[in-house]
Copies of this chain bind each other. A is one copy, B any other.
Amino acid sequence: MAGAGKVLALTGGVGGAKLALGLADVLPAGDLHLLVNTGDDFEHLGLHISPDIDTLLYTLAGRANAAQGWGLEGETFNALHALGELGGETWFALGDRDLATHLWRSEQLAQGASLPEVTTALAARLGVGCAVHPMSADPVRTTVHTAAGELPFQHYFVRERCAPAVTGFTFTGIESAAPNPAVLQLIADGSLGGIVICPSNPFVSVDPILQLPGLAAALAGAGVPVVLVSPIVAGAALKGPAAKMMAELGVPATAPGVARHYATRYPGLLDHFVMDDSDATLVPEIERLGMAAAVAPTVMRSREDKQRLARAVLALLEL
């Protein structure tokens, strides 16, 4: 179809944001739509915080602190320090400028705007050129089941630094959460050319998106190829707890372990599985799961790395 070149990319925070930036660089303006996990969202100090959306917006706006992987470049932490002096909670490192994002978002939500509306406005104000869609306007909250009990996601991830061994996950609210209608519309209107699942954590970044009622089926039925980039390279996660979680859940912490997760939960969804050059020997193992396997340099350090991987992904989508 002429003009059917839009790309929908599912993503969580840091790892996914890198590929999202590469895609934003190489795609024509307006062709990239990001569908972002909000299972990590939480209410803290009275503020609505959307860590994955913010990492994505800051990355796309060129304001992210690349070295630390979260927050803003040149950030200060004077409010957090003062809050600590008052005996307030400081385990979630809120920077001063980052705080403005949360204050602004929280106020807009309190005034009745939806999370998608607030996110669109925030993206525009930060100068982000692509469409950033929270996965749902409805609250979904990831709980991590661990050997030490159930923990809200940010408590597990930030406060406990992913230390407790994971036994499972609950996405509270997901049964009644509607997928973002803008994304369903994008799938329905025939303008989509392909779907990308960014190298994000399968359990806590991508599963919350794909388990929204009807969404995985809508993506699988969109009639466009779906490409996933493995978040596991040579048996390790480049960032975050994905490999640790897989080991704790008794899943091999390998690219085929990731592929099997998707093949089992979302049969037929993935057409292409992209893994790092260093995992090339695992191609046959992936292909036995019924998807095409491709290798590419998936470790994205430089801006050029991101753009090169984006081009490789788009080539598989024939875009």
Contact = CB atoms under 8 A, between A and B. Distances in A.
B82 A97 contact: yes
A79 B83 CA distance: 14
Given A46-B103, A46-B110, A76-B76, A125 B87 contact: yes
Nearest to A72: B82
Interface of A: 45-47, 76, 78-83, 85-88, 96-101, 103-104, 106-107, 110, 122, 125-126
Contacts of A107: 45-46, 88
Contacts of A99: 79, 82, 96, 99
10 contacts: A46-B107, A47-B103, A76-B96, A79-B97, A82-B101, A83-B103, A86-B100, A86-B101, A88-B103, A99-B99
Contacts of A101: 82, 86
Contacts of A45: 103-104, 106-107
A78 B80 contact: no
A104 B103 CA distance: 14
B78 A122 contact: no
Contacts of A88: 100, 103-104, 107
Contact of A46 (B76, B80, B81, B106): B106
A85 B76 CA distance: 16
Contacts of A85: 100, 125
A85 B88 CA distance: 27
A86 B87 CA distance: 29
Nearest to A90: B100
Nearest to A74: B78
Contact of A82 (B81, B87, B100, B110): B100
A82 B103 CA distance: 10
